[in-house]
Amino acid sequence: MRIRMLIMLACLAPWVARTETTDNAGLTQAEAEQQFFAAGAAYKDKEYARAAADYKSLLDAGFVSVETLFNYGNACFKQGDVDDAVLAYRRAWYLAPRDPDLAANLRFALQTSGGIEPERSTLFRIFTEFSWLEWRAATSVALWILFITAGLWLVFRRVHAWLGNVMMIAMVLVLLTASGWGYWALLLRSPEGVMTGGEVTARFAPMADATPAFSLPAGSIITILEENKDWYRVGTGDDTGWVPKTNCKQVYPWKPGAS
């Protein structure tokens, strides 16, 4: 019986240990680091197009990090591609929402492009104070504390009654942290998008000759509400309209190399 369980665990181990992150196809870590420095050097030489291309190839290879996204956004901004800069900054924001440099550059890029940002609730500001990765890690820790204290409480509850209080606190912690994580997951039911390719006209219907509803400056951050073939129905505040998919890039989730 024990041997059978050990065999099962041995079979599961590689699957459990498998990484959930993207593959770094084509580049080793040393090469990635080298390319990162090369892109930084190009940026210093004001060769922003080359810097942007280097950073983008890093991202496309799966080396997604706050630093790479931030620097790619800077390179895009400097070469006048403000909408892609906004997109990169916003993607980085999902990983590091409290980064002050990121917030400053995103705000500056939005002011420059005239782009709009949807108004957010207090709940949004509270839960997005931490990234979803941080909420996930906190949920893991809280769960393990709960498991351990629950086990201890089961065995020693007659001797150490205070273990019950610790278990309740752990349970509250699990609920709180899982709520933060769940809030991020709920946000993605209507994911954010960034308008690209100049000022875009949102229309009343997903047709090129439909009546114009309102215009969205490049770099505007909108909410994607619906999808219809080559069109997104987007919302900003009280206004909704249809825009071509080619003019709207989804912020998160995204596939490196695809956009």
Partner 1 sequence: MKTKQNNSHRMSVEGVVMTAMLLITGAAFAQPQATLDVQPRVIRLNEQATLMLSLSGVPNPQPPNIDQLPNFQVQYVGQEQRFSMVNGRTSQTMTYRYRLVPQTSGEFTIGPFQLQAGGTTMDVQPVDIEVLSVSQQTTTRPADDKGQTIDELVFARISASKETIYNQEQFYLFIDLYVRGVNIDRRISLNNMPTTGLSVDTFQEMSATREQVNGNVYDVRHFRARATALTAGSFTFKPQLQVQIIVPRDQPQRQRDNFFGFEMFDQMFNRYETHPLSIEAEPMTIAVSALPDDGKPDSFSGAVGRFNLNVEASPLELKAGEPITITMDIAGEGSIDSVAKPSLALGDDFKSYEAKMIERNYDASRGVGHKVFEQVIIPRSTNIVEIPPVVFSYFNPEKEQYVSVSRGPYPLTVTASESQGLKLVQAEQDAGSSTIRQLGVDIVYLKSAPDAWSPAPTGAIRPGPRWLAIHTSPLLALLALVVWVRRREKLAGNTALARRIQAPRRARPALKAARDHIDDPAQVYANLWRALSAFMADRLNMDDGEITPSLILTTLKDAGLPDDQRHALENLLATGERIRFGGGGSPDTAGRLQDIDLTTQVLQFAERKVR
State which residue, 98 or 255, has the beta carbon closest to partner 1.
Answer: 255
Q: Any bridge partners for residue 57, and if so which?
A: none
State which residue, 92 or 232, has the beta carbon closest to partner 1.
Answer: 92
State which residue, 150 or 225, has the beta carbon closest to partner 1.
Answer: 150
Q: Are 236 and 209 in contact (CB under 8 A)?
A: no
Q: Any bridge partners for residue 72, and if so which?
A: none
DSSP code, position 225: E
State which residue, 18 or 229, has the beta carbon closest to partner 1.
Answer: 18
Q: Are 199 and 81 in contact (CB under 8 A)?
A: no
State which residue, 42 or 232, has the beta carbon closest to partner 1.
Answer: 42
Q: Round to whole Å and give the CA distance between 125 and 197.
A: 29
Q: Are 125 and 103 in contact (CB under 8 A)?
A: no
What minimum distance in Å lies between the beta carbon of 99 and partner 1?
Answer: 9
Residue 93's φ and ψ, nearest 5 degrees, are -60, -35
What minimum distance in Å lies between the beta carbon of 155 and partner 1?
Answer: 6
State which residue, 124 or 214, has the beta carbon closest to partner 1.
Answer: 214
Identity of residue 43: Y
Q: Any bridge partners for residue 31, and if so which?
A: none
State which residue, 126 or 154, has the beta carbon closest to partner 1.
Answer: 154
What minimum distance in Å lies between the beta carbon of 245 and partner 1?
Answer: 19
What minimum distance in Å lies between the beta carbon of 109 and partner 1?
Answer: 7
What minimum distance in Å lies between the beta carbon of 67 and partner 1?
Answer: 4
Three-class SS state of 250? strand
b/e per residue 80-92 (b: at least 16 CB within 10 A) = ebbbbbbbbbbbb
Bond before 97 cis per omega within 30 degrees: no
Comparing CA positions, the residue from 180, 216, 177, 217 lying closest to residue 97 is 180
